[in-house]
Structure formats: structure tokens, C-alpha cells
Structure 1
Amino acid sequence: MGSIRHRVDTGKLFFDFQYAGIRCREQTTLDDNPSNRKKMQRVLDRIEEEISLGTFDYARYFPSSKMLEKLEVSRVQSRSAKIASEESEDTPTFEEFALQWVDEMRVQWRNTQIKTVSNTLSKHLIPTFGKKRVGLITKRDVMAFRSDLAKVPGRNGKALSASRINHILTPLRMILNEAANRYEFTSPYHGIKSLKVPRTDVQPFSLEEVEAILRTVRADFRNYYLIRFFTGLRTSEIDGLRWEKVDLQRRQILVHEALVDGEVVPTKNDGSFRAVEMSLPVYQAFQEQHLATGQGNYVFCTRDGTPLQHGNVTKRVWYPLLRFLGLKRRRPYQTRHTAATLWLAAGESPEWIARQMGHSTTEMLFRIYSRYVPNLTRQDGSAMERLLLSRLAHVSTREGHEHD
């Protein structure tokens, strides 16, 4: 309902009413008295009646109003929104489009990626968005979904990590963006950033700890862990390593493949595709291992010649060994971090280390590992101090001779 009100500063009356979802206030030159209020109320009643009938012409009542331009803009926007809404209603459901999109992407994805995305769709995305028209999904829907994910307990009973939530949201972002491009609507994912993920927990072993592990570990796994500690190979890379990728003549490991979900597949990216140089201990470990498994396909395998299952190895060999030695429980992946820190501490070239690790640049190398090798990477000015002391001592000695 509209009303007749007066301005406190001038005492003049004005109309105050709603039209097209906008609050409209139109000033008059009439003083605030019962007679003028009665006249204005009759006009206001007529305005509201026409608004309800859909015949109200704002310009006829208020021809010089500043509201006319604002109302026109609102009318255009409303018409565009209506057209966009009607077009969005013609888009397929999220489930229909998502399944079509996955089918189209199969040609460029590995089987493991197809499996991961399909699992995410069936477990998280389709139950939430499946029946909705893909063009009618809003940013609010996406944010609410992300908020709900943060409340879902994971396998360990704790809330899903930021990294896990980002992995679930990645196919959702790709699907919505692709649908927006095809059906020409604004993606609701626009402006939504990934959750911040805590930095990688790096806990490398010291050389003394590595020596203790290699002295104590089961004999049939000594070569396995020695090679892990001194090459920086990922778990999937060493478990999927085949003898045809081990060049004993050139003393190189050709890291071209990885074992993922029981399947040997090409490495994930170009940086991971590399040749890792063998140190003498690593070379000798491969020679010894060849006597045990050289007739088979895989360097490290079960009695049946099949690849190792990293979960079983970790639970039955790795963690019991750490407990026996009284060492802090750490994931086997820390062997990779250990290789990087030992190389750095030994003074190897950072560029060479980055290539061995499969990093495209040295940036990650120093960002992650520098604090573990203070003698190499610290920036405390000690090197300059030694240089200056040497030079100044030379100058001081020379000046002393001159004075003599």
C-alpha cells in the first residue's frame, strides 16, 4: 500500500508507493494539510488501481520525473531476464548434459580419470543437481552445495578436506562452464574460487634415519626402499616400474608410466615424463634386484609377478618398521621429499634436482625444501661476511706494511 507523506525539511507532501518492484517517491508543492492530503489520496488510489489492472502509465502522472529512466532500464532488464529464463528452461537437465559431456571427454581422458569423474557424478553431483535444468542452476545453488560438502564426514569421520572438496567441485565447474558456452548463458560458477589448501606437510627423513631403515627393513624390501629414498620416485612410479624402463647400461630409470588403480598408465604430465639418473647405490640395488625379478615384467612385484599393492605394503611393511625403530609415523611419500633434501644438502644443482623430481622449474624445490638445508639455501649474509673479512684482512695487512 502506498501512502501520502511529508518532507520534514520543507513540510511539502509527496507520494510514496511501489511500482514494478521499485519504491517510487514523487514530490509535490502542496503543503501538509487535511485538504491536500485528501486530494492526493484520491490520486494515489487511482494510481494503485491502475497498477493492479496493468494500465498504469507513469509518464502520464509524472511526465518530468527522474524515475522514468530508471523504470525503463528496469523494464529492459526484466524483459532480458525473462527471455534468458525461458531459454534456460530449454536446456537439458544437469544429469543429461553431464553424462553426455563425460562421454565426449572419454577420448582424451585416461581410464582412471573417467572412473574418478564418474564416481564424483554418481555420489555427489547428480544426487544434488541431476533433475535441475543446467541453465537454471544458480550461484547460490553451487555455494550451498559447497557449504554442505564441508559438513560431510569423510572416511576417517572428519569433515572433508579443502583439497577433497576442490576435487569434487572441479567437474561441476567444468560441466557448468561448458554448458554455459553451448547454451549461451552466464555460468553460475563465475567468480567462485577454489578453497585454499594448506601447504604440503614435508617431513623428510635424516640420513641417519634412512640408514637405520635400510639396515632393519625386510631383505626383500631393502632395494625397494633404497631406490625410493635415493631417486625420489613417486609410489605409483616405482610400483609400476617395468624392467624395460630400467637402462642399466646408461644407469637411468625411464619414468614414463605409473600404476594407478591397478592399471599401468602414462605419467600424468610432461614434467613427470623423465629420465632419473642412478647413483652407485641405486645402480647396485637394481643389479641385485634383477637377480630376483629380472625374468618378469615388473621390478618390484608379488610372487605371482603382479604389481605391488601400495596399501598392503604400507600397512604390513612400512608402518610396522617405523614403529619398531621408534620413528615418527610418516607416509611413504616422504621418501620422495627425503631424496630432494639429501640432494640439496649434498650440493647438487637445483636445476638437475628439479629434473630428477619431475618439476618444470626450481621454484617449487626451494619453496618446499629450503628450510631443511640451511647450509645451502639460508640467506643470512654469512657468505658475504666471509668474503669481506678475507678482503679486509688483506687490505689491513697491506696498510700495516705501508706504515712500517
Structure 2
Amino acid sequence: MGRERTSASGLEVELAKHKGIEIHGGSIRVVFMWRRIRCRETLGLPVTKANIKHAALLRAAILHEIKTGHFEYGRHFPNSKNAANYTAVKDERIGALMERYKPLKAVDITPMTEEKYGYALDICADLLGSERLAGILLPEDIQRLRTKLIATRAPSTANHYLATFSGFLAWCEDNNYCREGLAAACVRFTMIGREPDPLTKAEFDQLINKGCLHVQDSAAITLAVYTGLRPGELCALAAEDVDLESGQLQITRAITADGTFKVPKTGKPRTVLLMPPALEACRTLIGLVTNHEPLQIKIYMNRHESRTETVTPLLSPKTQARKRVINQWYVPTSWNTKWAAIQRRSEIRPRRPYQTRHTYACWCLTARGNLAFIAKQMGHKDFTMLVEVYAKWMDDESSNELDRIYRNIFNSPSS
């Protein structure tokens, strides 16, 4: 009896020496944390000092493998009912996974987009911790990331980072590097106060008559307002894109901030029909570049495919330049600078250059233009975006709209 008491006491002392070793159902059990989960596995060994020491060594080996990212649950506990669930996700660190993901994503995007994506991914990795295991991330971690991003950044910037990181997490989910649902946790922030802010007719007149010091500037702004071109499309226009006789403009390219040419945002060229002010603006701009030499440029369809064209810049810094060495093309950033100076001189409320596109849409909608036609002119796939973004301008005008519709129905040839 005394020997049994002494033996039991000795086992208790031995157990006390080793953290994470306990007795369960007359057998030794190891306890450890993995991927934020408390794991308990019974070894099926009788309770002896030797077996307790063996369990402690096993647990120490497991903790080392977890720390170094080489732990395989099924190898240590092949008969465990938890093995299948716990081994579904591989142990990889966020930083290492990101370096593997970047070149795989790069094949589908342009070099400049790759640079922007890489910067966004690096920021998110730093905020989360690049050395953390992707397999232990929880939706709570992504929610905390959102909080950190919005604390020091504009909603548009935070949303860009979240969208980019969501793509990375979706790739991780597809390859079993993290649990499902993390990509969905990258919820974008609601954009408040970013609705269209179009120019009024009076403000447009001030821009042209008071803000513009050169005929090229007034013609460029007129063209932007009366066509709804994106800034990158406007800056990439060539004289060869304009057909003055038919009153049409071909949009086949855009230019990025680093001077790289690419296809338009939708990936497809489009034809823009020119209103009289836009047609006259094109005529003016073509006249200004008549003596300019055509340039050979490369337009990237994607990272691996490009086409070469020889064209004359329609809107060129060279037209107004006094220096001999000057860029041949405006890029969106340099156009932003010029636009800001024109607004400042005109003394109107400052807006982003993109508002000229919104101005075109709003003016067309308040004039009761056909939705499908306007969407096609602006390069939208359909008129869904027009309805979502510009509903205010569609609803604003004409209490006599019903009468106008009725008259058109009554006077149509099929009546």
C-alpha cells in the first residue's frame, strides 16, 4: 500500500515537470496549441515515468515543428479523427506565399499594374505580419487589417489594398494555404461623397474663357467634356484617330502614368461620335500638330502581347513647350497638373480631371439621351453603371416626361 502511494506520488511529480502532459482515461495525453486550436491527443500508453518522458519529448518535437512551419498532424497522429481536418491547410508563412503569388499574378497584368499590386500586397503583409502562418489567420485578423488600413488612408486607397489582398487570399484558399472565408472578409469601405460632381455650363465657360491660356488647352477640355473620355484615353489620342469628315473618334489606346500605352479599360476599342463642339476641338488640335513628326509607340494588350503603331500625338506638351527636350505625350499625372492650374485661374471649385467624364454623362442624361447610346459612347459594357451612378441626373428633370413619351408613342409610324 505504501509502495503504491509512493509510486503514484512519483508519477505526479514526473507529470508536474512536463507542461502539456496529462492523464486521460488511464492513458497519457499530450496537449498543444496549433493554428489557434487547442489540440489534445491520447497516446494510448500506460502511465509510467518512462512514457511520461517519452510524451514530453514528443510534445517538444511537435512544438519545434510548429514553430519552424514543418508540422504534419497526420504523421504524428495518423489514427486521430482530427488528422483529416487539421491537415487540410498547409503551414506556410504569409510573406513566403506572397512572393510565390506575385509572379503568378504578374503574367496577367501590365508591369505598372504589377508594381501597384506588389506595393498593396506588401503593405497588407506588413500590417498582418509577414512571418505569420497563413493557416492560422481568422476573419478577425482581416477585420483588424481593415481597421489599420482605413486609419491612415482614404477609402479609395484602402479599398484598392483590400481588393488586391482579397485576390491573394482567394489564391491561398484555392491551394489550401488558409481556411475558407478570408477573402470574403476583405469587405470594401462605402465611398461617401464621391458621387459625380459635374461642371455647370457656367463653370465650363469660365474654364475655357478664363482658365485656359492656350488654344490647345481649351480645345482639349472641350473635347474631354463633350466626349466623356477617360484622362488616360484623352492623353493617348493621336491625330490619326480622328475622322473629321464622318465626325468620329476611334479610342484604341490609353496611356499610364509612366508613359506606357495599353488598351482601353474594357479591353476593346470603341467609336465615339462627335458633337459639334468636340468636332471643332479636334479640328483645332489637328491643326496644332500638323508639323509634328509621327512617333512609333508600342501598345500592350497584355503583358506578353503588344502591337506597334506610328502615330502623331493629338495632345502634346511639345505644342506649347519652349524647351527643346520635352515629353511628346501627356500622361494622366501631367494632365492633372495642367488641369489644376486651369481651374485655379478660372476660380471655380476644384475637381478631379475625371469629372469631365462625369460632366459628359450628366449633361447627356439631363438632355434625355438614350441610355444605351450614352453607355456605348463612354465605353461601358451596358447601361447598368449609368443607372447606378447617375440616377440623380436621370430623375432630376422634366415633369412633362410622361407627355413627351406619350406623344412619341402616338406619333410613331406603328401607331
- Report the TM-score, using the length of structure 1 for normalisation: 0.67
| 2:228 paired residue number | 232
Counterpart of 1:108 in 2: which secondary structure?
coil
CA gap 1:326/1:249 in 2 versus in 1, 3 angstroms? same
Kindly indicate whether the alpha-carbon contact (under 8 Å) linking 1:91 and 1:183 is maintained by their aligned counterparts in 2.
Answer: no
Counterpart of 1:142 in 2: which secondary structure?
helix
Task: Write the distance in 1 (CA, Å) between the matches of 2:139 and 2:389.
Answer: 35
Residue 53 (structure 1) aligned to one of 14, 23, 27: 23
Gaps of 5+ in 1: 1-50, 58-73, 154-159, 392-404
Residue 265 (structure 1) aligned to one of 237, 259, 262: 262
Task: Write the distance in 2 (CA, Å) between the matches of 1:111 and 1:164.
Answer: 20
Matches within 5 A, 1:99-110: 99-110=99-110
Gaps of 5+ in 2: 1-20, 28-39, 43-76, 295-311, 319-325, 411-415
Matches within 5 A, 1:318-333: 318-333=339-354
Counterpart of 2:223 in 1: which secondary structure?
helix
Matches within 5 A, 1:370-389: 370-372=391-393, 376=397, 383=402
Q: Greater shift after overlay, 326-335 or 196-205?
A: 196-205
Task: Write the distance in 2 (CA, Å) between the matches of 1:185 and 1:81.
Answer: 17
Kindly indicate whether the alpha-carbon contact (under 8 Å) linking 1:137 and 1:188 is maintained by their aligned counterparts in 2.
Answer: no
Residue 218 (structure 1) aligned to one of 192, 213, 230: 213
Identity, in percent, stands at 17
- How far is 1:328 from its partner? 1.5
- How far is 1:91 from its partner? 3.2
Kindly indicate whether the alpha-carbon contact (under 8 Å) linking 2:233 and 2:253 is maintained by their aligned counterparts in 1.
Answer: yes
Task: Write the distance in 2 (CA, Å) between the matches of 1:162 and 1:186.
Answer: 27
| 2:382 paired residue number | 361
Task: Write the distance in 2 (CA, Å) between the matches of 1:115 and 1:318.
Answer: 26
Is 1:138–2:138 an aligned residue pair? yes
Which amino acid is the alignment partner of residue 53 of structure 1? I
CA gap 1:375/1:164 in 2 versus in 1, 3 angstroms? closer
| 1:4 paired residue number | none
- How far is 1:238 from its partner? 0.5
Matches within 5 A, 1:60-209: 81=82, 83-86=84-87, 88=89, 90-126=90-126, 128-151=128-151, 153=152, 160-183=153-176, 186-189=179-182, 191-192=184-185, 193-198=187-192, 200-209=194-203
Counterpart of 1:339 in 2: which secondary structure?
helix
Counterpart of 1:254 in 2: which secondary structure?
strand
Task: Write the distance in 2 (CA, Å) between the matches of 1:195 and 1:139.
Answer: 16
Counterpart of 2:233 in 1: which secondary structure?
helix
Task: Write the distance in 1 (CA, Å) between the matches of 2:129 and 2:85.
Answer: 20
- How far is 1:199 from its partner? 6.0
Which amino acid is the alignment partner of residue 161 of structure 1? A
Which amino acid is the alignment partner of residue 135 of structure 1? G
Task: Write the distance in 2 (CA, Å) between the matches of 1:83 and 1:359.
Answer: 48
Task: Write the distance in 2 (CA, Å) between the matches of 1:322 and 1:286.
Answer: 22
- How far is 1:191 from its partner? 4.5
Residue 342 (structure 1) aligned to one of 328, 343, 363: 363
Is 1:298–2:268 an aligned residue pair? no
| 1:287 paired residue number | 283
Task: Write the distance in 1 (CA, Å) between the matches of 2:194 and 2:363.
Answer: 18
Over the aligned positions, Cα root-mean-square deviation in angstroms equals 3.4
Structure having the larger proportion of residues in helix: 1
- How far is 1:80 from its partner? 5.4
CA gap 1:307/1:175 in 2 versus in 1, 3 angstroms? same
Task: Write the distance in 1 (CA, Å) between the matches of 2:404 and 2:264.
Answer: 46
CA gap 1:386/1:372 in 2 versus in 1, 3 angstroms? closer
Is 1:308–2:330 an aligned residue pair? yes
Q: Deviations over 1:160-204 (max 9, x none)?
A: 233322211223222222222223753251542333333632121
Instruction: Answer with 1 or 2: which has the greater Rg.
Output: 1
